[in-house]
Every structure is written in structure tokens, then in C-alpha cells.
Amino acid sequence: MSITDEQLRDILKRPAIAARNPVGCPPQNAIAQPNVGHEPLAADKGKTSDRGRYSVQFELRVCRLLDIDNAYGAAKFGCDTLRYAKLIPEDNPSAIDLKVIQTKVSTKKEECTIILLTKL
């Protein structure tokens, strides 16, 4: 829906709407303009798609060593996070070499996960 020049001039001649309405109330004479979304999306300038291979190594420092399937399960969430952060293009075998190492530590304070990301 669009308005004519005459309608716009009429709207601009009216007193300030904000002075008549309490805060939070929509203006009484507002004309909503729908966003039809026909504008093109802007291209990412300066960024090229990086489809190279990466080596992703997770070192799990834990008090109690995990079963191998649980260790790789923990690394899955790390790989997903790296992908969402756009640090790696994909998390499939054609894009990354995944390695999971467990190191036993003596206290809970020492527990952590170290991620080593290397472009091949």
C-alpha cells in the first residue's frame, strides 16, 4: 500500500502524534508500510568461501577417562560449534581430519578441553 503526495502533505501538516499519545501506544494515524522483502541480499565483500581441509584435534583433560564413543560424542559438539562460528566450512570427513585425545588429570579444576585447529 502506498500513499499519494497529497496524503503525505496532509499527514505532515498534522500536529505531532507523539505528544498526544502515551508512551508505548501506537500512533492513531499511522499508515503501516509492509516490508515485501524484494531487496537483494548484500554480498559478503572481502570474504571468499574457504573449502580447504582442516585438522581438528580435541584434547580432553578429564579425571576419569571416557569410553571412546563418549569422547567422540563430546568432540561432535565442538565440531558443530566450529562450523557455526565459520572457523571450518563443514564437519564431514572430506573437510576435516578429526582426532580425539584423552589425558587424565588429578583434579576437577584441571579438567578442560583444548582444541587445536590447523589448516592443511
CATH number for the domain spanning 107: value is 3.30.429
59-115 tens-digit pLDDT: 999 999 999 888 988 888 899 999 999 899 898 888 899 999 999 999 999 999 999
pTM across the whole model: 0.56
Q: Is the pLDDT of residue 24 over 70?
A: no
Q: Does residue 11 belong to any structural domain of this protein? A: no
**What pLDDT was estimated at residue 50?**
60
Total count of domains within the chain:
1
Q: Does residue 85 belong to any structural domain of this protein? A: yes
Percent of the chain with pLDDT over 70: 65
Q: Does residue 49 belong to any structural domain of this protein? A: no
Residue 110: which domain range?
A: 54-119
Q: Does residue 94 belong to any structural domain of this protein? A: yes
Residue 26 phi, psi dihedral angles, 5° rounding: -70, 145
Q: Does residue 21 belong to any structural domain of this protein? A: no
